[in-house]
Structure 1
Amino acid sequence: MKTIAFVTYPGLTALDLVGPLQVLDPLSAFRPDEYRTVVVGEHTDPMPSDNAALRVAASHTFEEVPDPFAVVVPGGMVSTIEAMSDEKLLAYLRRAGETAETLASVCTGSLVLGAAGLLEDREATTHWAFLDLLEAFGAKPVAKRWVADGRAFTAAGVAAGIDAALHLVATLAGEDVARQVQFGIEYDPQPPFGPLNWEDAPRDMWQAWRATTLKEGTADAPELARRLGVTSA
């Protein structure tokens, strides 16, 4: 049985977790003797997401799923930066990384994979406002919606996790299964304001938000702050 483990930690972005979970969980229906999905965490008590109205709970502890076939790490803002120095989380990812055939992330979750030393010399992506930070962990930042480099599957910001997960389903079970999953969730994006024009991205606002996020998230982790170039001023 190949276990796909979705990693939780306090303050994660819910869609980073639930979007890919909704895409990958059908593998257990199409291939019930081959795949199962679980949600893992330090404990199974409800924990906050980045939305005050929503809490999430893992189905299993780290100890119960020590050697998953695949791990998927969601992202977030300040809490994700804090997770980059969470030694229990990093230790779990390092152990899983010794044998896992797939290392996946959504949004800033790739920074957590990077902090665990699992993206060295690999192309990877993350939310556009944090993309350059991947270099601090030996990764090669790529400005794409999702990137596959060997066993590493990384997605850009939030909604991109659905795209990357569909590609991962196709990799694991074939394109026909991935298309059936896409029909099942009616994934046919037609945003009301059309595709994004990246020349209009609110970079000034996001740079200010990024600076605050990094400073708050590394407040108690001086080594991480140094690697990310965070100043106390």
Structure 2
Amino acid sequence: MLQAAFLVFDGVDVLDFAGPLEIFSHANHSMNHSVPDPAFELTIIGRNEKISTSASLQISPGITLATARSKLKDFDVLVVPGGPPDIISSLVKSESEEFQFVRDFGFQAPREGKTPRTILSICTGALFLGASGLLDGIKATTHHLFLDELRTLCETKGKTEVIHARYVDGGMRENNIQIITGGGVSSGLDSACYFVSRTFSPEMASFAAKMTEFNWNEQ
């Protein structure tokens, strides 16, 4: 079972994290909803006990960022959602706990004997990755309105090919961290299905999509 962490922060977009969360919750080795054999254990992490989303929804993370950092290597997957660009920019420029967690996860190699790790960003969540240098040398995407902002940010950290797409598999970095970036908002559903397909099987991804009544765009 893969350990998947979902980063949330004040102003986070609901569907950015809830879409992948829903898909992962239906990823099932048995592919039988009556006999569940889940592929993921899901953990929501946030700085505070209560997080206010961009849609005024209040959520309670399962563990704090401080606790999550103490067990960083236990997580196999980190989902980095987006939110309003001014909020993301503030979190990046202040070297916030959220930014540091993303950077530490991305540059710390997996524990010996464990499977490669993955960062999946959605929408403007890619700005965290760009600012940390994780997108250097690879292709990436984000919400179509902020492609130029991501390009500008990445130019200070190296060379990144920023394209408009539902999702982009940037491949595996030298430290065994796979980078996948999703486009805007609902693209997180497609990105999550792609990740399930690549990591487990296309059949499992199709099962998870069908359980959510979602038509997966396989690009």
After TM superposition, the score normalised by the length of structure 2 is 0.78
1: CA distance between counterparts of 2:136 and 2:63?
A: 28
Q: Which of the numbers 86, 102, 114 marks the counterpart of 2:118?
A: 102
Q: Percent identity?
A: 28
Matched, 1:9 2:9: yes
1:28–1:66 distance in 2 versus 1, CA, 3 Å: farther
- Matched to 1:145, the amino acid is R
Structure with higher helix content: 1
Q: 1:157-214: per-residue Cα shift (whole Å, max 9, x none)?
A: 101110111001101110110111111001038xxxxxxxxxxxxxxxxxxxxxxxxx
Structure 1 residues 11-20 or 71-80, which shifts more? 71-80
Q: Which of the numbers 36, 40, 47 marks the counterpart of 1:35?
A: 40
How many residues of Structure 1 are paired with residues of Structure 2 in the alignment? 187
Q: Could you tell me which runs of 5 or more consecutive residues in structure 2 were left unpaired when the two chains were aligned.
A: 31-35, 111-116, 172-177
Q: Which of the numbers 62, 66, 70 marks the counterpart of 1:59?
A: 62
- Matched to 1:50, the amino acid is S
1:202-213 map, 5 Å: none
2: CA distance between counterparts of 1:28 and 1:41?
A: 26
Q: Which of the numbers 110, 125, 147 marks the counterpart of 2:168?
A: 147
Q: Which has the larger radius of gyration?
A: 1
1:33–1:158 distance in 2 versus 1, CA, 3 Å: closer
- Matched to 1:156, the amino acid is G
Q: Secondary structure at 1:118's aligned position in 2?
A: coil
Residues 69, 99 of structure 1: 8 Å contact kept: no
The CA deviation at 1:32 is 4.7
Residues 4, 35 of structure 1: 8 Å contact kept: yes
2: CA distance between counterparts of 1:17 and 1:35?
A: 15
The CA deviation at 1:58 is 1.1
Residues 46, 58 of structure 1: 8 Å contact kept: yes
Greater length-normalized contact order (CA 8 Å, ≥ 6 residues apart): 2
1:140–1:3 distance in 2 versus 1, CA, 3 Å: same
Deviating beyond 4 angstroms after TM superposition, the runs of 4 or more aligned structure 1 residues are 28-34
Q: Secondary structure at 1:105's aligned position in 2?
A: strand
